[in-house]
A and B are shown apart, each in its own frame.
Chain A
Amino acid sequence: MEVALSRQEFLRLIDGLFELEPGTLNGSEEIEKLGPLDSLAVLGFIALADEHCGVNVPAAAVANCLSVDDLVALVGARLS
């Protein structure tokens, strides 16, 4: 049985999504200020959520996120 990711581990994945140094994000950041979440980045987040958390996140849900915490919330139930 796979061990669920922690919130911190998932935040590290989101660091990678925005090409930031690991440990940069804490969740409170506004996505708009991090740079545009273009269509490839949205697909990238969907792939991360699926591969690491087993969650199928619709693209529309990602597009509605305003903060990094909103992104984390999309998979929150699957984090340890």
Chain B
Amino acid sequence: MFNPMDLSGRCVLVTGASRGIGREICILLSRLGARLVLVSRSAEQLSATAALLEGTEHHVAPFDLTAIDEILPWLKKLSAATGPLHGLVHSAGTQSTVPLRFLGNAKLEEMLRLNLNSAVALSRGFLQKGVCGSGGSIVFVASVRGIVGTRACAAYAATKGALIAVAKSLAIELAPDLIRVNCIAPGLVRTDMADALQQQLTPEQFAAIVALHPLGLGLPADIANAAAFLLADTGRWITGSTLIADGGYTAQ
């Protein structure tokens, strides 16, 4: 049976691979035949993800992505061990709901560092000679918060909105290298991060957010499907775009 999202023979690095959306992306990509390079800070949690994958020759690579200056040499050394990468998915990120009055610069910089700065460094690292194979696909997991406004989300929105803007520019800059760069903008997806948000809100507030998703809350698999679509040949002619996967949240 023909599968247009077949990823056999391709090696994809996924950050945030230890849980949630990142983990689900790894699982799906493995089922589509990809070899995975799993990245997050926790070797233990990465091993747990690796145990869920199909296929062999996956690579567990614990790394702290906030060590921005170390990303390029790390990626260069890593790809020497794994072989050239064909795809990069940046799913690692941090979320915090902080009203402006309490948003200190330290918190803003902390979120920018992991959500945005590491994405730019990873992209730069992907471009290094020998790291990416012929062509390639970079996918940033952004958020609908980077598209529409929400109270107490200015910092998070800044990081995710910036990813969307970065993807557009990188798409143009890297097109001659046949490297495509796209974003996925999820709505609220049932993950640990969503659970943490639920704890920060009253039941009425959380129910109001759920009600704003006409198709209900998303599942990590919904975002994994979007990532696979963009990474595979199904995304061959798509670059600089943001695939909104939000159950209709931004359609209103």
Interface residues of A (CB under 8 A from B): 17, 39-44, 46-48, 50-51, 56, 58-60, 63
Contacts and interface: CB of A to CB of B under 8 A. Distances in A.
Ranked 3 nearest A-B pairs via Cβ: A47-B98, A44-B102, A40-B99
Interface of B: 96-99, 101-104, 106-107, 151-152, 196, 199-203, 205
A40 B104 contact: no
A47 B196 contact: no
A60 B96 CA distance: 18
B96 A47 contact: yes
8 contacts: A17-B102, A40-B99, A44-B99, A44-B102, A46-B200, A47-B99, A56-B196, A63-B202
Contact of A40 (B106, B152, B199): B152
Given A44-B102, A47-B96, A47-B98, A58 B200 contact: yes
Given A56-B196, A59-B199, A39 B107 contact: no
Given A51-B104, A51-B107, A56-B196, A43 B202 contact: no
A39 B205 contact: yes
Contacts of B201: 59
Contacts of A60: 202-203
A56 B102 contact: no
A64 B199 CA distance: 14
B202 A59 contact: yes
Nearest to B98: A47
B6 to A, nearest CB: 42
B98 A43 contact: yes
Contacts of B97: 43, 46-47
Nearest to B106: A51
A17 B102 CA distance: 8
A41 B99 CA distance: 8
Given A44-B101, A51-B107, 17 more contacts: A17-B102, A39-B151, A39-B205, A40-B99, A40-B151, A40-B152, A43-B98, A43-B99, A43-B200, A44-B98, A44-B99, A44-B102, A47-B96, A47-B98, A59-B199, A59-B202, A63-B202
B199 A58 contact: yes
